[in-house]
Structure 1
């Protein structure tokens, strides 16, 4: 079963309203701080990006629906810190800094931030898993959209594309498989493809049937059409 976050292409959520070009980067000051503390905590090395995404996905449906974007981030971070033993719930309501924390030596210092952000977190990895599909080949995504390794686990195959037919547009190389990496099962890199789907394949009544949607999908999400 899917989780509340998997809302792409769903009816009833209203239009997507782009922000004005002159809008501030952060609508409120605390949004920037939420981003900063989330990134800084990630550099402690206690979790990976896939686990952090899955943690936000596991917020209660009521909270996920009512929280703003950065409220989801900061709530997910609180869960990550406690679940991974970095902090306890009491620490989250305290106001004192304990310099003797076992991870204090890994704190991201201000002068190191530009270099750390420039480096990023590339997910491409060498792998012995051969590419099974060629450019232009017709493929179909698995149905239902689900993690095949962990029941109810993280996956990057959106539900609106489950069972859809498309064509291979590009091979990106081999990349970390989120379905495995989010659950501590190893990076399990495999081929990652850009797959083009006709709008008419994804939705019953598309406004522009000849439009295409391109999704980056792992090989284990696909089968020959």
Structure 2
């Protein structure tokens, strides 16, 4: 069953209103702190980016629908910290801990932030998986947007693109498969493609039928059309 977070391309949620060019990066001060603490906690090495994304997806539908963007981030982080044993509920409630935390030595220091962010977290990996598709080839996405490894698990194939016909624009190389990595089943790298879809293929009555949507999709999401 598709989780509530998979909202892309859905009708009835109103227009997307771009922010003004001179709008601040963060609408409220705590938004920046939420982003900072989420990134800093990731450097503790207790989870990967796909596990982090899945934690936000697993928020209860009621909370996901009512939370703002950074409320989703900080709530997903709180769940991760407890699930992975980094903190306890008592820690989150502000109960003092005796002594240093076991992960204290992994703390991301202020002077190391710029280099750490510049390095990023590349997801390209060598792989022995055979490349099945070539540029210009017609392909179709799987009929259901679902993780084939874990029931109800993380996937990067959006529901609105399931069962749609497109064409390969380019091969990005081989990259970590989120469907596996989010569940600690290994990185399982496989070919990643840019795939172009006509809007009329994705939606019944698109406003601009001649437009295209380009999605980056893993090979296991695709089959020959």
Q: TM-score range by the shorter chain?
A: over 0.9
Which position in structure 1 is the counterpart of 2:41?
A: 41
Look up the SS of the partner of 1:223 in the other structure: strand
2:154 — aligned with what? 154
Q: Distance in 2 between matches of 1:97 and 1:203?
A: 54
- The answer for the alignment partner of 2:77 in structure 1 is 77
1:1-225 map, 5 Å: 1-94=1-94, 96=96, 99-225=99-225
Superposition deviation, residue 100 in structure 1: 1.6
Q: CA deviation at 1:21?
A: 0.3
Q: CA deviation at 1:117?
A: 0.4
- Report the number of matched residues: 225
Gaps of 5+ in 2: none
CA displacement at 1:99 relative to structure 2 = 5.0
Mapped partners of 1:85, 1:98: distance in 2: 16
CA distance in 2, matches of 1:21, 1:45: 36
Structure 1 stretches of at least 4 aligned residues deviating more than 6 Å after TM superposition: none
CA RMSD after TM alignment: 0.9
Measured against aligned partners, the alpha-carbon deviations of 1:67-120 in whole angstroms (never above 9, x if no partner) come to: 000000000000000000000111001164655211000000000000000000
Runs of 5+ consecutive residues of structure 1 not aligned to the other structure: none
| Inter-partner Cα distance in structure 2 for 1:151 and 1:97 | 37
With over 3 angstroms needed to count, the CA separation of the structure-2 counterparts of 1:37 and 1:98, relative to structure 1, is: farther
